Structure 1
Amino acid sequence: MHGNHYREHIEKSEQMLKEMVKKVKITPTQGRLLFFRDHEIEALLVNVGEVFSHLNQLLEQTKFSTGYGDFLLVAEDFRFGLCIERTEYYYELSIWGL
């Protein structure tokens, strides 16, 4: 996802993520939400439906909305996933298992 500056990258990424969440028909009950904390990556066991219900708040809490870190949500067995990865010049969206 390209934009003119990092803020536009974030906005486009959040918009695309919200659109993809609306299209998901079947989700695993639980999954892992991965996010950066200082020099470590946290992997919280979460209810996937609740992640979708509270997506705006989670994007803020994980600091994705401010450009810090990637967004990764995967099923325990890795058969489902939503990932937005920051690269040097733009953001990349990866989705599998829908």
Structure 2
Amino acid sequence: MSKVRKEKMEKLKRKSRRKHLMNELSYMTLPENPFLDIEENHLFCQKVFAFLHSREHKIQIHGDNYREHIEKSTQMLKEIVSRVKVTPKQGRLIFFREHEIEAILVNVNECFTHLNQLLEQTKFSSGYGDFILVAEDFHFGLCIERTEYFYELSTWGL
């Protein structure tokens, strides 16, 4: 198969996976085009991870096992969400998929309303993915990242 044809097929597969993700999120009101261009998405995700890596003063969440890490992290996340007084309008929620990472544009208030479902869909509840919600301009963020021995919570601008 030629390189051009292979690339075209990969783009079509990605488009199909994105459509499937949109269907999974049908309970939310998403903007008309919630996805970034594939290359922009890749660059945005790189910036997010670099930014998070550079952040100091993260709160470590410890538990006796990974299940307890998830439970404590989820509880802290819900407490933070309940205390947010002014909700930013939009942000990008990171979804870890089998083939790629997607940064989908969401209404932050709806994200908070459907937090339990989103924790399942981002695979955070099963210990597979991190929970990362950030503004496109990095003005705010709410992130819980997995590390080898504990989870790290980082918030700003909320």
| 1:90 aligned onto 2:145 | no
Higher relative contact order (CA 8 A, sep 6+): 1
Q: Which residue of 1 aligns with 2:63?
A: 3
Query: What letter matches 1:50 in structure 2?
Result: E
The match for 2:141 among 72, 81, 92 is: 81
Deviation of 1:27 (Å): 2.1
Query: What letter matches 1:20 in structure 2?
Result: I
1:61 & 1:48 partners in 2: Cα distance?
Answer: 16
Whether contact under 8 Å (1:10, 1:65) holds in the other structure is yes
Q: Which residue of 2 aligns with 1:69?
A: 129
Question: CA-atom RMSD, angstroms?
Answer: 0.8
Query: What letter matches 1:43 in structure 2?
Result: A
Determine what percentage of the aligned residue pairs are the same residue: 80
1:25 & 1:40 partners in 2: Cα distance?
Answer: 33
Q: Which runs of 5+ in 1 are unaligned?
A: none
1:58 & 1:69 partners in 2: Cα distance?
Answer: 11
1:86 & 1:65 partners in 2: Cα distance?
Answer: 12
Instruction: Give a deviation string over 1:5-32, Cα, whole Å, max 9, x none.
Output: 0000000000000000011111211110
More helix by share: 2
Runs of 4+ in 1 over 6 A off after TM superposition: none
Question: Which entry has the higher C-alpha Rg, 1 or 2?
Answer: 2
Q: Which residue of 2 aligns with 1:35?
A: 95
2:112 & 2:144 partners in 1: Cα distance?
Answer: 15
Query: What letter matches 1:63 in structure 2?
Result: K
Q: Which residue of 1 aligns with 2:120?
A: 60
2:90 & 2:78 partners in 1: Cα distance?
Answer: 19
More strand by share: 1
Deviation of 1:55 (Å): 0.1
Count of residue pairs brought into register by the alignment: 98
Q: Which residue of 2 aligns with 1:26?
A: 86
Q: TM-score, normalised by structure 2?
A: 0.61
